[in-house]
């Protein structure tokens, strides 16, 4: 069992290889209540099997934002486990059961995730902090040695720069960063490491904007089906 710095927290970092997405399972060892951050539709059965095998009760799925590169597994999970509530950032303007905003807390058993609003990749992006584990789930806002692109949805490079500097880089240096994706095989980083070594966000604000304006990334392969589906929890009737 993996615990990441909190012996009463169950922690699993799960991977979906087509979109290089990380899904995170967190649970309270005592009460068995669990949350799933950023599930992917293709790996829902795998995730639900792990939850069952570990004798956990899934309380929330949490989408860190309206994803453009893959379809969320949240709606599919809710269809299979009726009691699950889908959580999304209030500013995302998409369907969900629970909307959260800066300063809110998501409780599962005796554990808490603290919500910080980190717009810039999209308006509704949220970062989730588990202080007891010194772990930060940044979605696509902050990636390891990178960050979320700002050239579609409600992307804005200045907003993203301010979000990361004010809401993530102000956390203690030893807090671990768990991103929404990694395309290079890395699994986690830390606040101190990213402040120093992130080739985009360690720069001044204007330099950051220039870097982001010149990324020239191709659009995600699944964008045309992912965006409309994710506005309705991944399930289009």
Ligand X SMILES: N[C@@H](CCC(=O)N[C@@H](CSS)C(=O)NCC(=O)O)C(=O)O
Query: Site residues (CB under 6 A) for ligand X?
Result: 19, 68-69, 140, 146, 148-149, 181, 217, 220-222
CA dihedral sign, ordered 66, 71, 77, 79 = positive
According to DSSP, the residues that pair with 10 across neighbouring strands are 27
Q: Residue 118 binds which one of Fe ion, ligand X, none, with CB within 5 to 8 A depending on kind?
A: none
Annotate 183-209 with DSSP letters as a single string.
SSS---EEHHHHHHH-TTTTS-HHHHH
Extract the tokens encoding 47. 């995730």
- Of all residues in the shown chain, the one whose CB is closest to Fe ion is 140
Q: Rounded to whole angstroms, how far apart are CA atoms 218 and 210? A: 18
3-state secondary structure 15-58: EECCCCEEEEEEEECCCCEEEEECCEHHHHHHHHHHHHHCCCEE
16 lies in the binding site for Fe ion (CB under 5 A): no
Looking at 84-92, 102-110, 138-146, 189-197, which segment touches Fe ion (CB under 5 A)? 138-146
Which of Fe ion, ligand X, none does 29 bind, CB closer than 5 to 8 A by kind?
none
Residues 6+ apart with CB under 8 A from 6: 130, 132, 133
Q: Taking a C-beta distance cutoff of 8 angstroms, is the pair 175, 190 a contact?
A: yes
Q: Which is nearer to ligand X, 19 or 138 (CB)?
A: 19
Of the candidate spans 30-38, 136-144, 198-206, 229-237, the one that interacts with Fe ion by CB under 5 A turns out to be 136-144
| Partner whose footprint covers residue 221, from ligand X, Fe ion, none (CB < 5 to 8 Å by kind) | ligand X
Task: State the nearest-atom distance from the C-beta of 131 to ligand X, in Å.
Answer: 26
Which is closer to ligand X, CB of 89 or CB of 109?
89
Q: How far is the CB of 146 from ligand X (least distance, A)?
A: 5
Does position 6 interact with Fe ion (CB under 5 A)? The reply is no
- Taking CB under 5 A as the criterion, the residue among 6, 33, 38, 140 binding Fe ion is 140
Q: Which spans of this chain sit near Fe ion (rule: CB under 5 A)? A: 140
């Amino acid at each position: 069992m993996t615990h990441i710095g909190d012996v009463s927290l169950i922690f699993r970092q799960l991977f979906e290889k087509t979109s290089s997405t990380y899904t995170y399972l967190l649970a309270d060892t005592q009460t068995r209540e669990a949350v799933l951050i950023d599930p992917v539709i293709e790996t829902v059965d795998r995730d639900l099997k792990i939850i069952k095998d570990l004798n956990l009760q899934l309380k929330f799925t949490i989408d860190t934002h309206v994803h453009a590169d893959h379809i969320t597994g949240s709606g599919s999970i809710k269809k299979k486990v009726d009691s699950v509530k889908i959580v999304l950032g209030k500013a995302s303007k998409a369907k969900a059961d629970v909307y959260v905003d800066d300063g809110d807390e998501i409780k599962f058993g005796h554990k808490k995730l603290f919500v910080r609003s980190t717009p810039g990749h999209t308006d509704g992006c949220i970062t989730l902090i588990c202080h007891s584990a010194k772990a930060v789930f940044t979605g696509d806002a902050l990636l390891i040695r990178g960050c979320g692109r700002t050239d579609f949805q409600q992307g804005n490079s200045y907003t993203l720069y301010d979000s990361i500097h004010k809401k993530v880089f102000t956390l203690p240096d030893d807090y671990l960063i768990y991103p929404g994706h990694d395309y290079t095989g890395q699994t986690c980083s830390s606040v101190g490491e990213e402040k120093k070594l992130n080739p985009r966000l360690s720069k001044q604000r204007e330099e950051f904007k220039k870097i982001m304006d010149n990324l020239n990334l191709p659009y995600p392969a699944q964008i045309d089906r992912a965006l409309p589906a994710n506005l309705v929890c991944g399930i289009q009737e």
